[in-house]
DNA sequence: TAAATACTGAACCATATGGTTCAGCATCTC
DNA sequence: GAGATGCTGAACCATATGGTTCAGTATTTA
């Protein structure tokens, strides 16, 4: 279960680590699109775009459906909820860590003052 | 400026896309650590761990300082604020997109009801 | 000063990534 | 049915990734 989550994190963050793919997600947020649409908009070959869509699909961020000869891409069920939560947890950790550091610095400063000038170089 | 931000996104999300690196960040949230510390905890060679730390450092998530023979790693100034914001924006987009879809579905359902049974196969 | 510790760099390896071209194969459209 | 359209798969390419080993160098420590 945990491994499963971790694998999902790997896939989702990796999917987001490319500027084209982030662009595709934003685009699909505005309207569904075919592979051709996306390839044109991002100025690359169909094959190249299909690979990006594949990565996004693998991560659950996009779903596609082929009807006739055109494959339509739309946003998938993955809403990045866990990913957002992970980052939020990290941010709290970060803050706690630096509050702690502030305390240490403050403590040192306090001691410095208490012990006076004799410590100065 | 935008390119700069995009490059940062690339680096940050890529850094987060590995389970070991996410673990290192969580670890450093608890306490600073040397390369040796981290390598032991994550059961890999010093060289391997150093590469991971390098990636995290590149992304600004970690800073390191070598004093004597030990290099200490701690959390860097990057707090993933923009990344969190990006994801939140995406989530709102996602919801808007699906609300819209709901409206369409609702609309269809309404029409279906209005036009009655004659349409049914 | 010798041995242990901590890191570093180069070299290597397998696999992944981000792209391309080219040759299909369906499916529309005329 | 012929041609245009849209996608697909294989093959290729350069570079990156996630690891390793091995041979150092620098710094403690005994």
Please check the confidence at residue A117 and state whether its pLDDT lies above 50: no
| Contact residues for strand D with beta carbon within 7 Å | A 34-36, 39, 46-47, 50, 66, 69-71; B 14, 17-18, 20, 44-45, 47-48, 51-52, 55, 67-69
CATH fold group of domain A2-75:
Arc Repressor Mutant, subunit A (1.10.10)
Task: Nearest by CB to A94, from B10, B75, B90: name it.
Answer: B75
Q: What per-residue confidence (pLDDT) applies to B86?
A: 97
Q: Of the ranges A6-10, A102-106, B53-57, which one carries the lowest mean pLDDT score?
A: A102-106
Q: What per-residue confidence (pLDDT) applies to A2?
A: 76
Query: What whole-number percentage of chain A has pLDDT above 70?
Result: 81
Please check the confidence at residue B24 and state whether its pLDDT lies above 80: yes
B75 with A97: Cβ contact below 8 A: yes
Instruction: List the nucleotides on chain D closer than 7 A to a protein CB.
Output: 5-11, 17-22, 26-28
CA B46 / C1′ D24 distance in Å:
15
Instruction: List the nucleotides on chain C closer than 7 A to a protein CB.
Output: 5-11, 17-22, 26-28
Q: What per-residue confidence (pLDDT) applies to A12?
A: 98
Mean pLDDT of B101-117: 56
- Cβ < 7 Å from strand C, A residues 26-55: 44-45, 47-48, 51-52, 55
Query: What whole-number percentage of chain B has pLDDT above 70?
Result: 81
Chain segment A21-57, per-residue pLDDT in tens: 999 999 999 999 999 999 999 999 999 999 999 999 9
SS3 B79: coil
For chain A, domain boundaries: 2-75, 81-119
């Amino acid at each position: 279960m945990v491994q499963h989550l971790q694998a999902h994190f790997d896939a989702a963050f990796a999917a987001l680590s490319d500027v084209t793919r982030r662009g595709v997600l934003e685009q699909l947020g505005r309207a569904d699109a075919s592979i051709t649409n996306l390839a044109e908009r991002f100025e690359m070959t169909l094959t190249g775009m299909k690979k990006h869509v594949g990565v996004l699909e693998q991560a659950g961020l996009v779903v596609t459906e082929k009807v006739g000869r055109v494959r339509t891409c739309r946003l998938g069920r993955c809403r990045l909820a866990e990913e957002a939560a992970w980052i939020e947890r990290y941010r709290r950790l970060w803050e706690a860590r630096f509050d702690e550091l502030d305390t240490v610095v403050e403590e040192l400063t306090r001691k410095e003052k208490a012990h006076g000038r004799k410590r100065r170089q």
